[in-house]
Amino acid sequence: MSGLARMVSDHQANGAAPSQPTPPIRYELLTLGDELLLGLTPNGHLTFIGAQLGRHGALLQRNVTITDEAVAIAEQFRESWARADVVITTGGLGPTCDDRTREAVAAVLGQKLVFEPTIEKAISERFAAFGRKMTQNNLKQAYVFERGEVLPNANGTAPGLWVEQDGKVLVMLPGPPNELQPMFTDQVIPRLAARGLLHAGESYVQLRTAGVGESMLETRLQPIFDRFGEALSVAFCAHTGAVDCRVSSPDGRLDHAQLEAIAGECAALLGEDFVCYGHDSLARVCGDLLRRQERKLAVAETATGGLLANAFTEAGGACKFFAGGVVCYSNDAKMALLDCPECLLEQHGAASEECAVAMATGAAETLGADFALAVTGFAGAAKGVGGNPVGTIFIGLFSPGGVWAKKLSYPGPRATVKVRAVNAALDWLRRELLRLESGATTTVRRSNVMR
């Protein structure tokens, strides 16, 4: 395995810079399937595997998506195998006749496929456990490379395959995400790390922020970054309503504890604009704060149509803090479910700061919650009314400290406006929860959170 000698992490053990820069390990990903090229299924394997590799300090160099056709697979695999250090394939390992990946790849590698009785046993046991009969074509999945290893599949019939040859690594993974993803994190990452092809741990520390644009964030943090010069690498990634900042040390001069210290300094400087380390969603962070404070939340929404409520129910445990939500598309619904006064709706309209306040108050009172968020406005194709164009959103916040509303304006298509409105509401709640936790008596004013 001399070809695997170019380790990415061997110079990190002593914290010293390597005498010579090692060329990066080349990773290529082949995603197979007509359904990807026909646009029927998004290429989630690229998103997942690219993010996982990045998290462990490896950059995916290339992703190629091709048809299920054997000739195309062989041709592309030959090319990628010649160029890359690690080739990962997804899909084409199943039992049906269009799954010809195994054979095409074996031919290029000059390997035979051999029947592995233990896999047949595992597959037939899996069928038996579900009370089904194994059809003959499933036996195809029991053929493995004569010089290779098997990655057991806890969630399906087709195992993954691992080959080390020509100083390179080939990883073949089954297509279903619920089979591929645990196989990748639990088996593939540790194996690649053991061979020095990526870091076993996280290669960066990520700060998640909200309420600050990317360029302003950079300006505020630059004085900290400047102290570390080229030893520190910084990357920003803007989402709708949040910006992530990743600090890493490509040449290993700064160890993980030092990166964490730098991130901690950034977080302290950012104050409330700092959301969390890592990848937790705004809703998750709000949920954790609510649970810690033993408070309940209710929501009321029009324009976001249920997405605000859903944000809290994506992770488990929402019943601990989430009282419930109301989606009120009509004034009747606002009156019936939230006790919004008819005269208020008539005077100010349903898309107004006044209505947002009434909705938040009504949601908290009806559902017996300590906090409530309300979203109303014009998200989509319908024309705005009364000088409020499409993209005008009103958010209401009810808290033990008071009740307020603010007006926001977002450009873009309906789906984007909805996500931005949800995130703005969540961020407002997060800041209010933080201030109450810190014992601050003044709560947020309209003017200083408007953006």
62 binds a copy of itself (CB under 8 A): yes
240 binds a copy of itself (CB under 8 A): no
| Unique residue bearing structure tokens 């990066």 | 24
7 binds a copy of itself (CB under 8 A): no
Question: Which residue from 1, 51, 71, 114 is in contact with a copy of itself, where contact means CB under 8 A?
Answer: 51
Question: Which residue from 47, 96, 219, 222 is in contact with a copy of itself, where contact means CB under 8 A?
Answer: 47
Q: Is 418 helix (H, G, I), strand (E, B) or coil?
A: helix
Residues 381-420 that bind a copy of itself (CB under 8 A): 381-382, 412-415
343: Cβ contacts below 8 Å, ≥ 6 apart? none
Angle at 205 between CA 14 and CA 246, to 5 degrees: 115
Q: Are 445 and 397 spatial neighbours (Cβ–Cβ below 8 Å)?
A: no
121 binds a copy of itself (CB under 8 A): no
Tokens linked to 184:
């990748």
364 binds a copy of itself (CB under 8 A): no
Q: Is 25 helix (H, G, I), strand (E, B) or coil?
A: coil
Report the first-to-last Cα separation within the chain, whole angstroms.
56
Looking at the Cβ atoms of 56 and 168, the one nearer to a copy of itself is 56
CB atoms within 10 A of CB 200: 14
Question: Which residue from 66, 107, 234, 344 is in contact with a copy of itself, where contact means CB under 8 A?
Answer: 66
Q: Are 64 and 31 spatial neighbours (Cβ–Cβ below 8 Å)?
A: yes
349 binds a copy of itself (CB under 8 A): no
> Which CA distances in Å does 15 have to 195, 253, 257?
19, 5, 12
Looking at the Cβ atoms of 258 and 366, the one nearer to a copy of itself is 366
Q: Are 298 and 323 spatial neighbours (Cβ–Cβ below 8 Å)?
A: yes
Looking at the Cβ atoms of 23 and 316, the one nearer to a copy of itself is 316
CB atoms within 10 A of CB 354: 18
Element (H, E) at 408: strand 402-409
40 binds a copy of itself (CB under 8 A): yes
63 binds a copy of itself (CB under 8 A): yes
Nearest approach, Cβ of residue 3 and a copy of itself (Å): 22
313 binds a copy of itself (CB under 8 A): yes
95 binds a copy of itself (CB under 8 A): no
Q: Are 163 and 170 spatial neighbours (Cβ–Cβ below 8 Å)?
A: yes
Question: Which residue from 4, 7, 26, 44 is in contact with a copy of itself, where contact means CB under 8 A?
Answer: 44
Point out which residues pair with 301 in neighbouring strands: 327, 375
Nearest approach, Cβ of residue 144 and a copy of itself (Å): 27
65 binds a copy of itself (CB under 8 A): yes
Q: Tell me the window of 12-20, 118-126, 260-268, 313-321 that interacts with a copy of itself (CB under 8 A).
A: 313-321
Q: Are 206 and 244 spatial neighbours (Cβ–Cβ below 8 Å)?
A: yes
127 binds a copy of itself (CB under 8 A): no
* Interface with a copy of itself (CB under 8 A): 34-44, 46-52, 54, 59-67, 72, 76, 178, 237, 299, 304-310, 312-314, 316-319, 322-330, 332-333, 336-337, 366-368, 380-382, 412-415
